[in-house]
Amino acid sequence: MGGQENPAGMSVERWEQKLIEDYRDYRWRRLMEPLCEKMERWRVGKLPYAEMDETMEELYREVCELRNLFSQREDRVVLLIQWLDREWFEEWVKEHRPPPGARLVEPVK
């Protein structure tokens, strides 16, 4: 199988859950890891309050975006991930081959 994860018999539902779980982890890490670094810089006095305030405002907007995305029905989230973050999805799907019947968005040409 060339390193691709999709054991025989993996259901569409499990594949979709895995997609959502992995994307949620990716998006939260992309959001939180830089925040943790900035918080540490702020804690030791190397980041001014104004910059930390801007960071918190940006964080709030991005958290709202994530909540909006992940509050959708799972079938919609699966399609939105493919549509909104095509590059991430194409990398992910190389390692997680979709089972027959999986809902896939065709790339825009």
Residues 52-68: tens digit of each pLDDT:
999 999 999 999 999 99
Is residue 28 in a domain?
A: yes
Q: How far apart are CA 108 and CA 25, in angstroms?
A: 26
Which of 4-8, 13-17, 83-87, 104-108 is predicted least confidently? 4-8
Closest CA to 79 of 96, 59, 57, 104: 104
Q: How many domains does the chain have?
A: 1
What pLDDT band is residue 1 in, cutting at 50, 70 and 90?
Answer: very low
pLDDT at position 45 is 95
Is residue 18 in a domain?
A: yes
pLDDT at position 10 is 84
Is residue 4 in a domain?
A: no
pLDDT at position 5 is 56
pLDDT score of 4 more than 80: no
Exposure of 5 in the CB half-sphere (CA atoms within 13 A): 9
DSSP characters over 3-41: T----TT--HHHHHHHHHHHHHHHHHHHHHHHHHHHHHH
Is residue 53 in a domain?
A: yes
pLDDT at position 6 is 54
**Other C-beta atoms within 10 Å of 82: how many?**
21
* Average pLDDT for the chain: 92
Q: Name the CA dihedral angle for 6, 7, 9, 12, rounded to a multiple of 10 degrees.
A: -30
pLDDT at position 109 is 67
Closest CA to 42 of 53, 32, 31: 53
Structural domain harbouring 68: 12-95
